[in-house]
Structure 1
């Protein structure tokens, strides 16, 4: 038994050397290069004639890489039933003395596997007639079939996503983030020598929310696998309205942006300056009064609260009041958002503005500037409580002027009298 195995090995080695040497001289050997997908069926056709084949010379199908004999004559040598041959005559000429036939011998392999790749030779004994370079290729495919499409995490945590894919030739694997249907960002390109591409995030925040895709491609095609990263976080409220001063009767429009995941309970509240310990829930009041039982909005042009979703984690809410009543001034309007991770709010204080005409009506111009000849009032403003003082000061000024005039007359008469006494 050992001698038989040894003899077989020697024969195969000699055969391999002969075939290799024959391949090195390819000037007379026809070669077909075949690229075909896994799972398909391939046919390798070898054209012979009856002058080449006779009872003493048989056709041989051999895979050169491992010197494995597939078929000898009409007999399958390997045990794999996916391999078989077909024979058909395409030309037959007979004369009085001889016949000439052209015969096609085809080696057929069904349900191709990657292991079937190699160089197959069609030969008569040791003479190679034709070579077939069979390259089995494969579209990329993911190794792990079960995976979670939604990855929920919390702000500040670290996460890793592993993508594994194979194919022939080896696929190029990379990660992208989908911004929208038409825009994307390439996040990571992985080495083509590896079947694994890992995406890592550290100290994650809510900007990492979104759709991520692992792509694997070779020249046969591209495959993708989607992952949604769902970063959960407490609400963050920001005010869009800069204006805080209004006249009585003005239109009031307040807007808030809320970032939260999951969605927050968003409310507008009113805190009076006379009752700072209690909040009035304007949202609850509006929804109770201006939504009917079928949840259809009732038109209201006096005041309303509106809410809209801008993206997966952002909302905008608007408080509209057509005419601001006096009781709202010096009070606080609160935009508040709450989810099970926390709460946040922003406070807006409504300040009353006054028209210039009203200010003139309730205030007076004062602060006199006194000269030696005239009485002048400057155009500075003074409150109503100082009006009496102003009148008093004006009266004193007039009295002083009168006294000065009277004293001047007395001095004049005194001077005349003294003159008459001394000179008469």
Structure 2
């Protein structure tokens, strides 16, 4: 425990107001006690030199897979929390495709109990349907009372439009978003990568952008009809971005997130890597035109949040031929370095805008009170920079799984420390 701490001369980033200031920040008993210049606290207080660092409210990744219960060989809540902390996150929201899935209150409460001793705060997302089979609504009110911050059958779409309508109607009463896996599976029953020039050349079955776009369009109209909040998970297509943009122009309750890998890599990576299974994810890596549209969507506010869709798999599961490998990569440890390299350095987002996409905006979507750098508030913060150039190696991996395509990559910007729940954790240089 580190209940008392003085962070000296940091640049405080206030995402709610979009302002910054240089100041000392004193934490006493886990609470921000004082913010000012040249603070001289009484007694012995550990001091952290933040003179070349930025400090923001703690980051949240609103889309991760912690795999527990049921798939502990891939990840556990404890190892996932370690990876999140290494990536600069004080909070994560975990998806329900576990075994059993998070479709009953007892499983939601199990996750919360397992996460109680971790440095990172874990917010479970409950299922929309029982067993995630798309046939019957789960007990959404009971899940919400148990601590579910949203509902999703992630990994499987709610394909029945009538069922999705009823879920959205319930969501309006419970004030929770429905996070749908935006895909029409019948449009890509055996797809392995993005359907396009590359898939045609290499001979792999493609997953068309249309599969995502049709479901996004359907759910936008259901949101218009019901007033329920639709959140578009891991948006990946140019057409999807335009659909969300138009929905927002209509003032509909529609929000969207994008994964860091979808603004970094294109479908060419599959071929260029020699069919490395670490380039296989769902939705797949899309075309250069799609990636450009995703960046434009972030820049103009169409896309609200950044996330990772952290999806760990054991080595033996990924070390197979491309068509047989599961979809998904890890992402918690590389998220900020990719954002710095792909979004901040090129000027797509300002530092404050990038921080907003990891702090206030995802918490608004999940109805979580955002932490603030304010005297009297409980301390939850992330210390980081946007300039350090570093190479991501095996020693930086804290997840139980190592299925990432970014090993050996130079990244820009590093998270250096987090403070949460009365504890301070800093990373080695």
Name the TM-score, length of structure 1 as normaliser.
Answer: 0.18
Greater helix fraction, Structure 1 or Structure 2: 2
Greater relative contact order (Cα < 8 A, sep 6+):
2
The structure with the larger Rg is: 1
Q: In proportion to residue count, which structure has more strand?
A: 1
What TM-score, normalized by structure 2, do the two folds share? 0.18
